[in-house]
Amino acid sequence: MTTNSHLGTREAPDLDDGAVVRRHLIDGPGPQAPVIRRQVGARIEATDGSVWLDAASAGFGPGHPAVTERLVAQAGRTALSSRILVSRPLAEAVTALHRLCPDPLTVSYLCNSGAEALDSALKLAKGTHPRRRLVMGFAGADHGTLLHGLSLTHGFPLLPDQPLGPVAVPRDRPDELVARVRDDVAAVVVAPAAPGRRLADLPADWWRRLRAACDHTGTLLVLDERLTGPARLGVDLAVTRLPVTPDALVLGEPLGADAVPVGCVVTSRATYDRVYARRNPSLHGSTFGANPLSAAAVTAVLAVVADERLADRQREVERLARARLAPLAGVGAVTDVGADGALIWLRLAGPDAARALVTELARDRVLARPPDGDVVAVLPPLTAAPGDVAELLDRVAAAGGRLTTTGPDAGREVRA
């Protein structure tokens, strides 16, 4: 800390938008990042005139006419709310979520991000078992940007004495996870599928054993569907493809149409009541959470998911991805390709090759997330136009095909 009467500094006037964001944003985008002018579905028109295709956002897709008009209309009435009065948009949103989720998952807590929703599931677990100090999951898995999600991802506690310490099991040893569920664990967090892990990689029997272990110990089973739901795996929710029902189901950014921050955790009434019944309703909550604009987004998005059969569209994406990308596997630097609906990924010969692929994709105007080790995810928006998806997959196939396989040049582009 210092004290200083001088307040504020003016930015150097010659810095462009990209440079300003890179200068100030921690973990910001690289120098090749497009500056957005307009977005529709997977198409991003940049201010320099280039057109990019979005394989990074894993969202619903911006610019859907019905959703946009619903959001513009709601923003014109009331967006956030002073919450003194009763919210009709919220009633509609939780009703839509009830229709989406399998019984007995009937109670929805709306908040401001998938990360917050996951955190709310863990808070529910902590309230259920206050003395338990552990949360379990797969090491390296993406569980959002809040403390406990990051701790699971990185596999170590980020605070010396945080509310729940992480027990992160290697991703290739799922049986160890089941075996470690004991009565000192408040919650187990697992995603149905993830880049690098197919839905089928965790068989039905594994899920049954995990459910049984959680039932035996009272541990909450939290299903992280921030990426997979709704529709991405070719079904409205991935949970419908599992032989078990979780205690809490977490949904995230796609519910907000990529425009309005929102997340949701859905639980059974019994699970919810164990912590929150007969207590002050402000025991958990958020200034912004459950606001009318986010509620309107949830309702509008889920209406499109149903009316336009978005899950079916993702199965078409899967068929296309398998046709275009599967031939890459084992030929060059690509060692494996996965596609569960529109959850598409490529495993490369190593992390260097994965980084090289992302660089190649950027050269071909495909926006991709930084690789997770040797895996590059391809996650087009749910409402991407079929032609854009085909073009996106063609560009991925071309970039993947240009990479060499092993040795010191692994991942380097093969130049003609």
User: 49-88: which residues touch another protein (CB under 8 A)?
Assistant: 52, 54, 56-57, 59, 62-63, 68, 71-72, 75-88
Q: Identify the residue whose tokens are 């402000």.
A: 282
**Binding flag, residue 286, another protein (CB under 8 A):** yes
- Among 371, 373, 321, 370, which Cα is nearest to 343's? 321
Angle at 351 between CA 346 and CA 357, to 5 degrees: 50
The verdict on 376 binding another protein (CB under 8 A) reads no
Two structure tokens written together for 35: 């500056």
Among 289, 332, 338, 411, binds another protein (CB under 8 A): 289
Mention every residue, 6+ apart, whose C-beta is less than 8 A from residue 14.
Answer: none
- For position 103 contacting another protein by CB under 8 A, the verdict is no
Site for another protein in 122-151 (CB under 8 A): 122-123, 126-127, 130-131, 133, 144-148, 150
Nearer residue to another protein within complex by CB, 234 or 252: 252
User: Binding to another protein (CB under 8 A): which residues in 339-358?
Assistant: none
- Of the ranges 269-277, 310-318, 341-349, 387-395, which one interacts with another protein (CB under 8 A)? 269-277
Concatenating the DSSP letter of every residue in 100-159 gives: HSPTTEEEEEEES-HHHHHHHHHHHHHHHSTT--EEEEETT----SSHHHHHHHHTS-SS
The Cα 142–Cα 373 span in angstroms is: 12
Q: Which of 48, 49, 205, 277 lies at the binding interface for another protein (CB under 8 A)?
A: 277
Residue from the set 50, 66, 159, 215 that interacts with another protein by CB under 8 A: 159
Report the nearest approach of another protein to the CB of residue 409 (Å). 26
Distance separating alpha carbons of residues 200 and 183, to the nearest angstrom:
28
Q: Among 43, 100, 107, 325, which residue interacts with another protein (rule: CB under 8 A)?
A: 107
102 near another protein, rule: CB under 8 A? no
**Does 162 sit near another protein (CB under 8 A)?**
yes
CB of residue 304 to another protein, shortest distance in Å: 15
Q: Which is nearer to another protein, 98 or 208 (CB)?
A: 98
Angstrom distances, CA of residue 294 to CA of 46, 93, 113, 351, 392: 27, 9, 10, 38, 30
Q: Of the two residues 122 and 221, which places its CB atom closer to another protein in the complex? A: 122
> Least CB distance from residue 43 to another protein, whole Å?
11
Give the contact letters, 237-256, x = binds to another protein (CB under 8 A), - = no: ---------------xx--x
Question: How is residue 416 written in tokens?
Answer: 């003609």
Distance CA 276, CA 109 (A): 12
Residues binding another protein: number (CB under 8 A): 137
Kindly give the interhelix angle for 386-401 and 351-363, rounded to the nearest 10 degrees. 130
Contacts of 96 (CB under 8 A, 6+ apart): 298, 299, 302, 303
CA distance 366 to 395: 7
From candidates 183, 221, 243, 284, binder to another protein by CB under 8 A: 284
Q: 222 in helix, strand or coil? A: strand
Compare residues 23 and 309 and give the one whose CB is closer to another protein.
23
- Asked if 299 touches another protein (CB under 8 A), the answer is no
Is 6 among the residues that bind another protein (CB under 8 A)? Answer: yes
Using the contact rule CB under 8 A, the part of the chain among 2-10, 174-182, 194-202, 208-216 near another protein is 2-10
